[in-house]
Structure 1
Amino acid sequence: MTQTAHPDSVLIVDFGSQVTQLIARRVREAGVYCEIVPFQSAEEGFHRLQPKAVILSGSPASTVDEGSPRAPQIIFDSGLPVFGICYGQQTMCMQLGGKVESGHHREFGRAFLDVDRDCQLFEGLWSSGSRHQVWMSHGDRVTALPDGFEVVATSSNAPYAFIADEKRKYYGVQFHPEVVHTPDGAKLIGNFIHNIAGIKGDWSMSAYRQKAVEQIRAQVGDKRVICALSGGVDSSVAALLIHEAVGDQLTCILVDHGLMRKDEAAGVVAMFREHYNLHLLHVDAADRFIGELEGVSDPETKRKIIGRLFIETFEEEAKKLGGADFLGQGTLYPDVIESVSFTGGPSVTIKSHHNVGGLPERMKMQLVEPLRELFKDEVRAIGRELGLPDSFIGR
Structure 2
Amino acid sequence: MTQATHEHILIIDFGSQVTQLIARRVREAGVYCEVHPYNRAQAVLDAGFDPKAIILSGGPASVCDAGSPRAPQAVFELGVPILAICYGQQTLATQLGGVVESGHAAEFGRADVEILAPSALFDGVWEIGGRYPVWMSHGDRVTQLPDGFSVKATSENAPFAVATDEARRFYTVMFHPEVVHTPDGSKLIHNFVRKIAGLRGDWTMAAFREEAIERIRAQVGTSKVICGLSGGVDSSVAAVLIHEAIGDQLTCVYVDHGLMRAGESDQVVSLFRDHYNIPLIHADESARFLGALAGVSDPETKRKTIGKLFIDVFEEKARMVGGAGFLAQGTLYPDVIESVSFDGGPSVTIKSHHNVGGRPERM
Q: TM-score, normalised by structure 1?
A: 0.77
Range with greater deviation from structure 2 (214-223 or 274-283): 274-283
Post-superposition offset of 1:192: 0.8
- 2:6–2:202: 8 Å Cα contact kept in structure 1? no
Match of 1:339, as an amino acid? V
Structure 1 equivalent of residue 341 of structure 2: 340
Q: Residues 241 and 37 of structure 1: is their aligned pair in 2 closer, same or farther, counting only changes over 3 Å?
A: same
> Take 2:218 and 2:172, find their aligned partners in 1: how far apart are those partners?
42
Q: Residues 174 and 249 of structure 1: is their aligned pair in 2 closer, same or farther, counting only changes over 3 Å?
A: closer
Alignment of 1:28-47 (within 5 A): 28-47=27-46
Q: Residues 280 and 172 of structure 1: is their aligned pair in 2 closer, same or farther, counting only changes over 3 Å?
A: same
- 1:6–1:33: 8 Å Cα contact kept in structure 2? no
> Take 2:343 and 2:246, find their aligned partners in 1: how far apart are those partners?
38
Mind listing any 5+ residue stretches in structure 1 that lack a counterpart? Answer: 346-350, 362-395
> Take 2:131 and 2:212, find their aligned partners in 1: how far apart are those partners?
44
> Take 1:236 and 1:200, find their aligned partners in 2: how far apart are those partners?
32
Q: How many aligned positions are there?
A: 352
Range with greater deviation from structure 2 (15-24 or 299-308): 299-308
Structure 2 equivalent of residue 25 of structure 1: 24
Alignment of 1:115-154 (within 5 A): 115-154=115-154
> Take 1:328 and 1:184, find their aligned partners in 2: how far apart are those partners?
37
Structure possessing the higher relative contact order (Cα contacts under 8 Å, 6 or more residues apart): 2
Structure 2 equivalent of residue 53 of structure 1: 53
Structure 2 equivalent of residue 262 of structure 1: 262
> Take 1:258 and 1:99, find their aligned partners in 2: how far apart are those partners?
56
Query: Are 1:184 and 2:184 an aligned pair?
Result: yes
The one-character-per-residue Cα deviations of 1:362-387 (angstroms, maximum 9, x if unpaired) are: xxxxxxxxxxxxxxxxxxxxxxxxxx
Match of 2:340, as an amino acid? S
> Take 1:340 and 1:303, find their aligned partners in 2: how far apart are those partners?
17
Post-superposition offset of 1:299: 4.6
> Take 2:23 and 2:315, find their aligned partners in 1: how far apart are those partners?
37
> Take 2:311 and 2:102, find their aligned partners in 1: how far apart are those partners?
53
> Take 1:311 and 1:232, find their aligned partners in 2: how far apart are those partners?
18
Query: Are 1:354 and 2:352 an aligned pair?
Result: no
> Take 2:315 and 2:112, find their aligned partners in 1: how far apart are those partners?
59
- 1:116–1:128: 8 Å Cα contact kept in structure 2? yes
Q: Residues 228 and 149 of structure 1: is their aligned pair in 2 closer, same or farther, counting only changes over 3 Å?
A: closer
Q: Residues 161 and 318 of structure 1: is their aligned pair in 2 closer, same or farther, counting only changes over 3 Å?
A: closer
> Take 1:308 and 1:256, find their aligned partners in 2: how far apart are those partners?
15
Alignment of 1:1-395 (within 5 A): 5=4, 7-48=6-47, 49-286=49-286, 288-289=287-288, 293=291, 296-299=294-297, 310-311=310-311, 313-331=313-331, 333-334=333-334, 338-340=339-341, 353-354=354-355
Match of 1:146, as an amino acid? P
- 1:7–1:51: 8 Å Cα contact kept in structure 2? no
Report the identity percentage.
Answer: 59
Mind listing any 5+ residue stretches in structure 2 that lack a counterpart? Answer: 347-351
Match of 2:18, as an amino acid? V
Post-superposition offset of 1:148: 2.0
The one-character-per-residue Cα deviations of 1:51-105 (angstroms, maximum 9, x if unpaired) are: 2211122234333343332211110011111111222222212222223333334
Q: Residues 45 and 260 of structure 1: is their aligned pair in 2 closer, same or farther, counting only changes over 3 Å?
A: same
Q: Secondary structure in 1 aligned to 2:354?
A: helix
The one-character-per-residue Cα deviations of 1:245-288 (angstroms, maximum 9, x if unpaired) are: 111222223333444222212211211122112222334455x5
Range with greater deviation from structure 2 (103-112 or 262-271): 103-112
Q: Which has the larger radius of gyration?
A: 1
Match of 2:294, as an amino acid? V
Post-superposition offset of 1:237: 1.5
Q: Secondary structure in 2 aligned to 1:69?
A: coil
> Take 2:141 and 2:308, find their aligned partners in 1: how far apart are those partners?
52
- 1:176–1:182: 8 Å Cα contact kept in structure 2? yes
Range with greater deviation from structure 2 (102-111 or 272-281): 102-111
- 2:256–2:284: 8 Å Cα contact kept in structure 1? yes
Q: Residues 114 and 314 of structure 1: is their aligned pair in 2 closer, same or farther, counting only changes over 3 Å?
A: closer
Q: Secondary structure in 2 aligned to 1:325?
A: strand
Post-superposition offset of 1:236: 1.7
Q: Residues 210 and 112 of structure 1: is their aligned pair in 2 closer, same or farther, counting only changes over 3 Å?
A: same
Q: Secondary structure in 1 aligned to 2:277?
A: coil
Q: Secondary structure in 2 aligned to 1:354?
A: coil
The one-character-per-residue Cα deviations of 1:222-260 (angstroms, maximum 9, x if unpaired) are: 232222322222222111111101112222233334442
> Take 1:354 and 1:295, find their aligned partners in 2: how far apart are those partners?
16
- 1:104–1:141: 8 Å Cα contact kept in structure 2? yes
- 2:30–2:201: 8 Å Cα contact kept in structure 1? yes
- 2:304–2:359: 8 Å Cα contact kept in structure 1? no
Q: TM-score, normalised by structure 2?
A: 0.83
